[in-house]
Each structure stands twice: as structure tokens, then as C-alpha cells.
Structure 1
Amino acid sequence: MFADKYKTPIADALLALREKTKHSFHALPVFNGNSIVNSELNEKYKSIYGDRFLGCELTTTGKLFDSFFFSSSVIRESEDMAARLFGADGTLYVTTGTTTSNQIAATALYQHQGPVLIDKSCHQSIHFIFDTLGAPLDYVRSEFHCEKSERSAWNIDSLLQSVASMEQSGRSYEVIVLTAQSYEGVIYNVPKILSLLLKSGIRTRKFLIDEAWGAANYFNPDLKEITAMNIGHLMNEYPDLEVICTQSSHKSLSTLRQASMIHFRGPEALRERLNIAKFRIHSTSPSYPILGSLDMARAQMEGEGEQCVANALQLAEYFKEQLKNNIEWSCYHLCSMPDMGDMNAFVKQDPCKVSIDINGLGMPAAEVQAYLFNEHGVYVNRITKNSILLNFHIGIQPPAVSAILAGLAALQRQQVSQSVQKIISDRFIIPYPPGVPLVVPGEQMTDEIFKKMEEIKKTGIAILTI
């Protein structure tokens, strides 16, 4: 059973091919570094890619490996294992990014000339492909907003009103496209929303779910039940239902960049349409290193997924506790979800997406971003005018948390020393041992005190904030 969990048919086949293939008269001159042996750039190539990576840049196909588009061997075996893991009827691997996955999914679903309803917050590629397909488009727009974090969500009442109006006109949406999770960490309860739509009496049976950021949610016990493929009960009740979700695997799993998965629930005819769309749209030169990473990431999540996600959650909670309860980070505040009224029953906040209000620093978020990277080697991508967003994915380890905490603390000390504003402590700050307060409530926090706290920490003595 242990071996089955970590079975990697694609990766194993690539390793075997790498050892067996000595010379290739097909393509990829860079295979095994052959084309750069005498190049001045040889060492630079190797410093970036290494010898082993270039050995997996193969073009072998057919019976010697498998067909990427009409798989029947190791690729199909791995895709079927992924489908079982994510609770899907089938899975397709994509090596050219989720933009391609969205194009494949939309093409497979949209067969006629009916209107399409799209969540405006979906990825741009979804908007572009339906526009290219000539679909008449309507949009569901965000109505709830958090000014600081820029978290937003649409209203379930507006969604229901849109589909009801279309039905009353004598038509129905051919496809409805929804976002499962936003970049900022707003997670929609997809099964509950689909159930509500279907029970309202709509005739729509085709749904595309943009689940780019949601792959890891399948391994979180508190979030798995609201993922896009957790709709077995709906498939039983509505056998003509077709639901496709697309995932940017590299955003939350251990894959290479541009690795993507398409999962679907529906009849075998849907698989056929997806295969045809993939053949028409995907590059005919798939990346074998990316393909191998999809296979291995799937195996990792099958064997270790729940523990990986639990570790990430633990680190995120530790970080939030430090920020809330320690005077060293008193300038920062956690941004909570905006109140959404009745919509609260249909959304959750991703506990691994931590939005931080930095307004107390008195400096632009772009400068905070630059400081953290240039001075502490910490990269933060998402910023707003008054906040930064941290994504505690499964690749975040304790040293990374220590680094971001140290960077934020150092930045606060720097700003305090340059500011005429006074920070007054509302707590006791006590090094223990010996248990003598360094700061008492009502005392001003000076740069000297912050430096003293840093020196005490380096000795291993605990600093209690009470």
C-alpha cells in the first residue's frame, strides 16, 4: 500500500528513457547537454539546469513512452490516479499552463451559440477564449469589497437573479463559469452554489470552475468538502451534468511552472470532447520535465498531502499569532474578510492566505515589498496600497517564516526610529528569566528598547508579552 501511494509511472518511464537513450537523431539538441559541450555557456547552462535535468528533455513518444494526446500507457495511468485522488471522473495533464487548460475546457463545453455567464473575477484567459468562440457574454460582478486587502466576492442573490432572468426570457445559459478561489483567498463553496443553481430549476448543465488556486484545498479536511469535484451527490441527481475545473498545479503543488491539471465530472463523451480540444489547442511539443513533475506532485499529495497542508496551516497560524501578540509587530494588523451578509454562508477565507494591513508603518506597500526582498531575500508578490499578501503554500518552511517576521520587525524599528510618532505599549514585556519587566503598560517604545529586545532574543531568553 505504501509503494502504491508513491507510484510514479511517468517519472519512472522518463528515468528509464534517460538511461537508455544515448543519442537522438530527432530533435532537442540540448538533450544531455550535447549541443553545449564545447560552448562558452556550458557552465552557465549547468549552473541553472544541471546535468540531470537536461537528460529528461526528451522527445521520445509512441510505444517507447506514451502518446501525450491519446495516452494509453504511463500518462493515462498517472492521469487516472490523479482523477481518483481529486474525486474526478477523469483528469488531463497540461504542460503549457492553465491558460491552455481554460481554452481546452471552454472549447469542450461550448458546443452551440448560447449565452455564457462568467464570474468577472475569473482569469483573463477564460474571458478571451469565450470571446474568441463568439459566445454572447453576461457577467457576475463583485459586490462585497475589503478596501485594505482588496478581497472581494459576488452576491449569491445576484447570481440567482441573472440565471432566473435568462430562464424567464425563454433561453438558458449554455455554460456558467465560476471562480472557486480568488488570489486573495476567498474560497467559494462550489457544491453548495451548484446545488442551489440546479434546484432553482435552470436548464444549464455545463459548468466551468476556475480552481487555479485551489488544488491544495483537497487535502485540507475543512475545505475539501467545498471543492469543485466534491459533487458526487449532484452527479447522481443530475446525470446529464458536466463540470470541469482547471487547476494551476504550480501555484500550490510541487510541480514545475506551467504545470496544470484539468479535472472533470461527466459522461465519457465529455472526455472525448476534452481530448479533441486538447489535441487542437495544446502544443505538440509537451514538456517532459513538467509532465514528470505533475506525476510526482500527484504522488506526493497522495502520500503526504494532508500532512503538507497541515504543516503550512500551522506555520500560517504561528505567524498570525506572532503578529497579533507581540509588540515587535504592533504596526501591522491582519485584514479580515469583509462582512458579506447572506453570502457568508457560501464563502470561507483561505487560512493560508494572510493579508497584512501595513498602514501603521507610514510607507507605501511597494517600498515594503522592495525592502523585504533587497534586505531580507523575502519575495512578496501581491500588494495593494495599504496591504501585503502572504501565501503560506506547502513550500513555506520555518526559516521562511522567521525571515519574514525578522524583516517586518526590522522595518518597524527603522520606521519608529525615523518617526516623531510615539508608540505606547499597552502590555508588560518581560524577559524570562529573570522575570523583570523591560517595559510596563503606558511606557513609550523607543528604538533602544527594540534593539535591547533583539539582543535578548539572540541569547535564547524568551520575551513574554502579557
Structure 2
Amino acid sequence: MSKKKNYTSAPFYNIGQLRVTYWNYLKNQTSELARCHRDSKNESAITDSVKILLKELGQVEAYFAFPGKKLVEQYKLALSRKEHTALANNVAETTRRLVSDSYRSNPDFINLGDEKTMKEVEQREEADHVQQNYFEVLFVEEMSEADEIALHQKAAELSQKSDTFTYRFVVQRSFQDALITLLFNYNIQAVVVRYAPPYYSKGISAIIKPYVQNVIKLDLSGRKEVELGPILGKLARQYRPELDTYYVTDTALRDLKDSTIKTFKRIFYRKEDLLEIHLSIMMGVRDRYQTPFFTALKEYSQKPTGVFHAMPISRGNSVFKSRWIQDFGDFYGNNMFLAETSATTGGLDSLLQPTGPLKKAQKMASAAYGSKQTFFVTNGTSTANKIVMQALVQPGDVVLVDRDCHKSHHYGLVLSGALPVYLDSYPIQKYSMYGAVPLEQIKRRLIQLKAAGRLDKAKMLLLTNCSFDGLVYNVQRVMEEVLAIKPDMIFLWDEAWFAFAGFTYTYKQRTGMFSARKLAGKYQSSSYRKEYEDHIKNLKEGELPLLPDPDKVKIRVYATQSTHKTLSSFRQGSMIHIWDQEFRRKSESTFLEAYMTHTSTSPNYQMLASLDAGRRQVQFEGFELVEKSVELAMVLRAKVNDNPMLNKYFDVLTVHDFIPDKYRQTGLTEYYGKEAGWNRMELPWEQDEFVLDPTKVTLHIGRTGVDGDTFKNKYLMDKFNIQINKTSRNTVLFMTNIGTTRGSVTYLTNALLTIAEELDDEIKSLNGREMEIREARIKSLTEDVPPLPDFSHFHRSFQAVPGVPGGNLREAYFLAYDETNYEYVPLKECLPSMEKGKELVASSFVIPYPPGFPVLVPGQVVSTEIIEFLLALDVSEIHGYRADLGLRVFNKKVLDRQKTGTALGAMGISMKNKLSNTK
């Protein structure tokens, strides 16, 4: 006998996971019901389960057009009539279409009672040959059921089979339900707010309450109803800025607030027909669907041409006519070569000085990512970082930078001649990795510079957000408190691994562009001016302000993103996003010069087209895909935590493992626990100093007795062809992204289970001595972790003002071009030499992989902790270090020099003071 199941107790991370799972539950239960004997006890029990599922699904489907609450009601009716076979067949078909997304190409569905069969619908789909991109439109108005039916009928009449797009309305009758729809329904592409909706929902069901706490806590019930429409429009732009918003009102134009007019794409009056709204919706979607450069490239590829420019590969002529590389052409196909050209005219545009489709594509990307300007980069974010550095800082400027940033920033400092002030991230000793830079340390450095009279030299703060391991800053707090000390500071946020973050609200609030826009608006408001004045009045003597002066502050924010790492783009496709109030006046000319310096005159057009097409994708489905990638990461965490075989050898590192308590003001320790289930991440992402991106899933593998590099290559890659980017001594990092599928997570879970079983079998076969060796390896990986060294300091020969942060990296770097200036010291001889009083100063970058950033930079004094760290490393790849020769250090001649002018002096920079960097 089937037992009654309490489905509401099942753990789900988000409403999407719950929804799909419940439809699968319903499919299984209705199938079983169709096989039951009539009027049996089993039939009665299953019927009760189906009733529960239909009731709860009806409460969820109220926020979706497909399958929607109407279809659920029809299924309830079929159940009451005991039409079990028809019910089972239709539920199975609904579930198939929902899970496979096939409804998006043809959302028409067989309603119960229709004479059409499933086969007839499928045949019609095949005959029409029209691929329609389906979306849904949120329509907000307190209307009767009859009016809603009429609205749907009118919309259906306006739709044409030849349309590229087709949509259905989701009607909501309250402010709260409309907001919930925006948070739940990834199919929504437009919002129509018609008149003034009432505030409260008629009932937020228990099943969805855990997922809508932000809506419940938001209390605008005291606002006038006439204000709720514009407020809803603003919230729609905040949570889902990619959507087109429309407003229908009776308010006279003279009485409409400017803020309301700016909020909506278009405002309609009651006398205007639904046709105008329909046409506006379709045009808005068509506008966003454009891919100016990708379209131009496709059109170019189809034109007959004679090739008399560079690139024999163009049109594939040198490939397909070859006897020896035809397989190369066969592999990539015709279109790749038809789209190859070195021409910058004929509609294809120039990347260096775009005037046509590339310019338009970059403008559309700017709108999508929320910047003032966006530039495409075809050499990866390594080049994007150098462009921004060269554009904004010059020799002698001071740049505050996290020491464990990507090596491209360090080389950018060399090229620009700026003086780095290295900031130390807090160490995560147990797992041989670094966290992020505490705000307190950043402010302490700025105060040191201010006390030394060198705050005016501090030009830029450069931080990695998020880090490779998933550490994310409270961007707004950092910028606000830094601007309180240095109101014109430029911020460069390296968001190489965070390009996806702009497309879901929880993540978005910790991005550079969103924070820049928000702070710019805040500082220009009269309410902020009063807040600032009150703040200054209440400061105690000697206390530093935490808020910037609105008369002095300038928002100057740059973000570099590896689009190809987390979104759809060919490899090396990257973007630079800019929100700089001083850009036109101070930085535009130098930025364009730097852009030309580092950008090829022969950029890859396929890469540019992929950036353009990728922008279209995230505008239409970024919200959905990012939410699903987070969901799958959470599922993977739960799989490992809940499975005894997996948690026997593997631990999913979570928030408390990566972030010390003092940086987690809300106290969140983990996203998922076996006993407690899921914890919501919204509040910590609003308030905590640091948060952990859940799409970065780090497994601690110390108890396997296998180090990270071996686990990556011997187990994951060689046995299962599973590729990962990063390991540490005792961890491996898995990342979910918009391309991750449920099948991928299942495959990884199966691989980990297989590895765990193999380890079990291996342990059983070990003799006593072998077991001792294994336990020693485990102890080494779990307890005997090497110390993580901080940045020491620049040697006095490469110091700025004594006792003040700032080191001459450029001079040290170029001094090493002369082989008479350095010598090699074998690594094992370094500590004995240092004990005898020998000063070792690095003459090159030393970058072990992992962790992948410099533990030594040119001009840095080698500390005991750094040597101990290098000796303890068990990685095979260390850039800048040759095991056969040893550590390359400056010789005594260089360190004893007493010049007042150095390499910077040759560039016209006064070096009356020595250069230094102290802790």
C-alpha cells in the first residue's frame, strides 16, 4: 500500500528545484493511480497524495503562465471525475514539456476535454516549421476572472504565427504577488503595471514562504495605492533590470513625476488600446534580441567576394583546396572560414575606432551590464587589466593592491611605473589558500599615507572580486569607507570570475557597476547630504568619518571581466566596464591610448561576435541560467554532505571554513547542513564583510591521502575526463556555471562515489607498513600544513619614503635585465645563508601554481616564512624559479648602491626620497 507522503518537508534550495520535483512527484503518483484497482484502499491513499500535490502546485503555478494555475485546476477536476488514465497521460506530457523546455518553442498544450490528441499537436508543430521564442509578460491589475479571460483571448488574437516571438500573460492582482512573480518566473521579459494595484496578496501559501522572505519583510502597505505602480516599476528595474517595463495610468502628464517617467520604457493612457501595448512589448524584445556585430558578420560571410587582402585562410580558400589540412576545415566547418577577414569596412567595423555595428554592440553590452561605457577585449582579462592600469596611473602614483591578485596586475604595475602598496589577504592556513583583504587593513594603509603627506599620490585601489575560491567583498561598504578618506579614489574590481553576477539580484549588489550606480545616486540626493551632516556632527574627537563628503566625492569605478570564464564567449573574450564620473574629462584620451597600445589591429571577429551573442543570451535568460547554476552548486553540496560514502573521504568547505567569524556579521556558517537543511544567503550577501560564492564548490580531500594535484590528474582527468582549474595541497575546486547541467552533476557525483569505493578497496589491501605510510600522508595533508607567508617588504634600495607604503617594482624588474646584477642561491641554502646575515632580495616574480600569484616580487626581501613555504610546496610548476639553479636574487652590488636617482629618475620622476613599503 502506498503511504501518504509529506512533500512539504522535502528540502529544496529554491522554488525552481521544488517546482520541477513536485511535477515529477505528480507524474509518478498519477501513473500509479492509473494502474490502481477502482475503489481500492491503495487508490484512496494515492488520490489523497495527488490532491496534496495539486493543491501545492496550484499555489506555485499561480506565478507562471505555463503550465499555470488554470491547467492545475483542470487536473483537479479530472481527479474528482476519476479520469485517472487521461490525467496520468496529460501530467506526464506537462512534466516532459516543462523539464525539457520544449514548451518554449510551442507553448500550446492539450487541455483536458479537447478532442486534439498529443500526436496531432506534435504533427502540427512539425508542419509549422516556425521556431517561436516563448516568453511571459507580467500584467499587474486588480481584475475579474472574466476580464482576465478576455485579456488572454485578445492577446492570442494579436499573435501571428509568423512572429519570431510569442508570449502569454501572467496576471497578478497585488503588489506582493507581482514582486514574487519577478523573483520566481524566469520567463518574464516584460512588465505591464496597469493602474494602482492593492498591496497585500490574498494569501502567500506556506509552501512558498521560505523563498519570499524579502517580499514579506518589505512593508510598503502604508504607501498610497497610486504610488504603488511606480514603486513596483522601480523594484522591477532593481531586481530584473533587463526587463522592459510599461505603465498604464489615468494621471495627467503634468502630474506625473519625472522619476516615474524615467522608470518605465513607455507610459500608456486608458484610451490607448491593448494593441499598442502588444506592439511595444514585441518591439522591446526585438530591440534586445539584436546582435549588431554578430548579424553583420553573418551577412558578410554570405556575400560573394574576391579576397585580395591579408589572410589566405579567409573564405577557407587556403584550407579546403589543400591536400594536407582539409581535415582542419572539416573540423571547424565552412562558416568559421567564411567569416574570417582582415577587412574593417563593409559593415564589419574596427575594434579600435568603431563607428558601426561594433559600436552599437558595445553600447548594448553597456546597457546589459549596467555600465556607462563597455569595451570588448580579445586578449583576455590579463590584457584588460593592463589597459586599465596604463590608462589611469602613471609613474610615481601609488596603487593599493591585494598581493594575491592575478599576475597580470603585477606586470601592469611594472609597465605603468606605479608604486604598489601590497595588501595581505587573511590566510586560510588549514587549506593552503588565502582569503580576501579586510577593510580595516585597507583603511590603515590609507591613514599611513595620509600621515606621511602622500595620500594625494594614492590613485587606485585594486581588488579581486570574486577570488578564484569564491570570496566576495562587500563592494559598497569598501568603496564608501575608502571614499570617506580619499574621495577621488579610483577602484579597479577584477571580476574575472564574476561576469555572471550582474544577472541575479543577490549577486548583483556586490558588483562594481551596480555599486557605482547606487552610490552615485545616493551621494547626489538631499537625504544623503543630511545623513552626512548628522554623521559629521556625531563624530567623536579623533574619529574618522565613515561617509564621504558629497561635495568632494567622485565615483570612479572600473571592472574587468572574463566573459568567457562564466558566460557564453569564445576563449579570451573579455570586457571592460566603466562607471567613471570623470571619464570624459580626465581619462577618456589616456584610456583610448592604452586600449590601442594593447589591442591587436587584427582582432578575432568570431570572438567579438561571441561577446555580442553572449550579451543577448544573458539579457533574455541570464536570470534563469545563473539561478540554475547556483541551484546545481547547492545540489552538489547536499549530495556530498548527505552521502555516507562521500562524506567519509570528502568535506565540502563552506562559509565558516573560508571566512573568520569577525567578518560574518550575520553569523551564517554554512549554506546547507544535513540536519538543518538550507540556509538563506540573501541577508549575509547584503550585510557581511565577506561572503562565499556558492558556485565555487571546494572539496577538502585530505582524508583520501592524495594531494590536490594528483587527485586532479590521476583520478579526475585520467579516469573520468573531468576537468577542473584549481587545486591546493589538500583541496580541489569544482565550479558550476550557466553551462552546467544536472547530468554533469550526476556524472561528477558518480565519479566521486567510484573514487571513494576504490579508496575503500585499496585500504583493505594494505599491510601494516603501507597503512602507516598512508596515515602519515593523511596527517601531512590535514595537520602538517605549511605556513602561508604575508608580503614581507621592499628592500631599502627599492623603497619610497621610509616608513611609508609604496615600492618601486618597475625599477627592480628592469634591473634584472642585466645578468651582472643578480645571482642564484639554491633553495635549500637560503635559510642557512640568511642565518649568517646574508640579505636575499628577489630579482624576479616567483609564482607557484597553485596558488597562482607571486609569493615574491622583484625588489621584495625574502623572509624566513617565504622560504619555508616554498620548501613545503609539493607543486611541480613554479614560474620564475628554476630548481636546477635556485632562487634568483640581486647581488650585493645592486643592494649597496647609493644613487639618488634610479630608473624612475630617468623618466623625470624625482627620487630624492628612497622607496619603501612597510607593513
Output the TM-score relative to the length of structure 1.
0.86
CA distance in 2, matches of 1:355, 1:49: 35
Identify which range, 370-379 or 93-102, moves more after superposition: 370-379
2:584 to 240, 259, 268: 268
Which residue of structure 1 aligns with residue 654 of structure 2? 336
2:694 to 340, 351, 354: 351
Cα drift, residue 402 of structure 1: 1.5
Which residue of structure 2 aligns with residue 416 of structure 1? 760
| Contact 1:244 1:265 (8 Å CA) reproduced | yes
Which residue of structure 2 aligns with residue 324 of structure 1? 641
| Contact 1:105 1:274 (8 Å CA) reproduced | yes
Instruction: Tell me the SS of whatever aligns to 2:430.
Output: coil
CA distance in 2, matches of 1:242, 1:105: 12
Deviations 1:322-343 (A, max 9, x none): 1111123132111123342443
| Contact 1:167 1:202 (8 Å CA) reproduced | no
Q: State the percentage of identical aligned residues.
A: 28
Identify which range, 342-351 or 385-394, moves more after superposition: 342-351
Identify which range, 227-236 or 90-99, moves more after superposition: 227-236
CA distance in 1, matches of 2:479, 2:553: 14
1:360 to 703, 715, 734: 703
| Contact 2:459 2:489 (8 Å CA) reproduced | yes
| Contact 1:148 1:335 (8 Å CA) reproduced | no
1:375 to 709, 712, 719: 719
Deviations 1:318-372 (A, max 9, x none): 1111111112313211112334244332211011000001122222333322222
Matched, 1:179 2:523: no
| Contact 2:298 2:339 (8 Å CA) reproduced | yes
| Contact 2:559 2:576 (8 Å CA) reproduced | yes
CA distance in 2, matches of 1:146, 1:222: 29
Deviations 1:19-76 (A, max 9, x none): 1143311111111221122324333312442221122222221353212111121111
Instruction: Tell me the SS of whatever aligns to 1:147.
Output: helix
Deviations 1:249-291 (A, max 9, x none): 1111100001010000113243443222211221111110000
| Contact 2:488 2:554 (8 Å CA) reproduced | no
1:214 to 491, 498, 501: 498
2:509 to 222, 225, 233: 225
Instruction: Tell me the SS of whatever aligns to 2:396.
Output: coil
**Is the alpha carbon distance of 1:421 and 1:320 closer, same or farther for their aligned partners in structure 2, counting shifts above 3 Å?**
farther
Which residue of structure 2 aligns with residue 190 of structure 1? 475
CA distance in 2, matches of 1:32, 1:42: 15
Matched, 1:386 2:671: no
Identify which range, 102-111 or 5-14, moves more after superposition: 102-111
CA distance in 2, matches of 1:103, 1:134: 12
Matched, 1:82 2:365: yes
Cα drift, residue 383 of structure 1: 1.3
Instruction: Tell me the SS of whatever aligns to 1:356.
Output: strand
2:420 to 137, 146, 163: 137
| Contact 1:8 1:299 (8 Å CA) reproduced | yes
Cα drift, residue 146 of structure 1: 4.9
Matched, 1:306 2:620: no
Which residue of structure 2 aligns with residue 168 of structure 1? 451
Matched, 1:64 2:347: yes
**Is the alpha carbon distance of 1:39 and 1:63 closer, same or farther for their aligned partners in structure 2, counting shifts above 3 Å?**
closer
Cα drift, residue 81 of structure 1: 1.1
2:566 to 252, 255, 259: 252
Counterpart residue identity of residue 414, structure 1? E
Which residue of structure 1 aligns with residue 679 of structure 2? none
**Is the alpha carbon distance of 1:198 and 1:285 closer, same or farther for their aligned partners in structure 2, counting shifts above 3 Å?**
same
CA distance in 1, matches of 2:519, 2:660: 26
Identify which range, 222-231 or 103-112, moves more after superposition: 103-112
Instruction: Tell me the SS of whatever aligns to 2:436.
Output: strand
Counterpart residue identity of residue 276, structure 1? E
| Contact 1:144 1:154 (8 Å CA) reproduced | no
CA distance in 2, matches of 1:6, 1:353: 31
Deviations 1:153-202 (A, max 9, x none): 22211111001111121122022211111111111122221111112x22
Matched, 1:154 2:472: no
| Contact 2:395 2:416 (8 Å CA) reproduced | no
**Is the alpha carbon distance of 1:368 and 1:111 closer, same or farther for their aligned partners in structure 2, counting shifts above 3 Å?**
closer
Counterpart residue identity of residue 33, structure 1? G
Deviations 1:186-225 (A, max 9, x none): 11122221111112x2254222111111111111221101
Which residue of structure 2 aligns with residue 291 of structure 1? 608
**Is the alpha carbon distance of 1:347 and 1:421 closer, same or farther for their aligned partners in structure 2, counting shifts above 3 Å?**
farther
CA distance in 2, matches of 1:380, 1:131: 31
Cα drift, residue 373 of structure 1: 1.7
Cα drift, residue 95 of structure 1: 0.7
Larger radius of gyration: 2
Larger relative CO (CA 8 A, sep 6+): 1 or 2? 1
Number of aligned residue pairs: 421
Structure 2 spans left out of the alignment, 5+ residues: 1-283, 524-551, 665-687, 767-919
| Contact 2:632 2:742 (8 Å CA) reproduced | yes
Identify which range, 392-401 or 337-346, moves more after superposition: 337-346
| Contact 2:351 2:603 (8 Å CA) reproduced | yes
Which residue of structure 2 aligns with residue 122 of structure 1? 405
2:388 to 105, 118, 134: 105
Deviations 1:289-320 (A, max 9, x none): 00000000111001110111111111111111
Instruction: Tell me the SS of whatever aligns to 2:631.
Output: helix
CA distance in 2, matches of 1:178, 1:357: 26
**Is the alpha carbon distance of 1:220 and 1:272 closer, same or farther for their aligned partners in structure 2, counting shifts above 3 Å?**
same
Counterpart residue identity of residue 367, structure 1? T
| Contact 2:431 2:728 (8 Å CA) reproduced | yes
CA distance in 2, matches of 1:138, 1:277: 23
| Contact 2:386 2:408 (8 Å CA) reproduced | yes
CA distance in 2, matches of 1:61, 1:385: 49
CA distance in 2, matches of 1:314, 1:391: 12
Which residue of structure 1 aligns with residue 211 of structure 2? none
| Contact 1:146 1:152 (8 Å CA) reproduced | no
Instruction: Tell me the SS of whatever aligns to 1:62.
Output: coil
| Contact 2:497 2:565 (8 Å CA) reproduced | yes
| Contact 1:192 1:226 (8 Å CA) reproduced | no
| Contact 2:708 2:729 (8 Å CA) reproduced | yes
**Is the alpha carbon distance of 1:291 and 1:157 closer, same or farther for their aligned partners in structure 2, counting shifts above 3 Å?**
same
1:12 to 289, 295, 300: 295
CA distance in 2, matches of 1:62, 1:32: 16
Identify which range, 63-72 or 281-290, moves more after superposition: 63-72
CA distance in 2, matches of 1:398, 1:43: 37
Counterpart residue identity of residue 250, structure 1? H
Cα drift, residue 396 of structure 1: 1.1
Paired residues for 1:435-454 under 5 Å: none
Counterpart residue identity of residue 575, structure 2? M
| Contact 2:699 2:732 (8 Å CA) reproduced | yes
| Contact 1:118 1:140 (8 Å CA) reproduced | yes
| Contact 2:320 2:326 (8 Å CA) reproduced | no
Instruction: Tell me the SS of whatever aligns to 1:93.
Output: strand
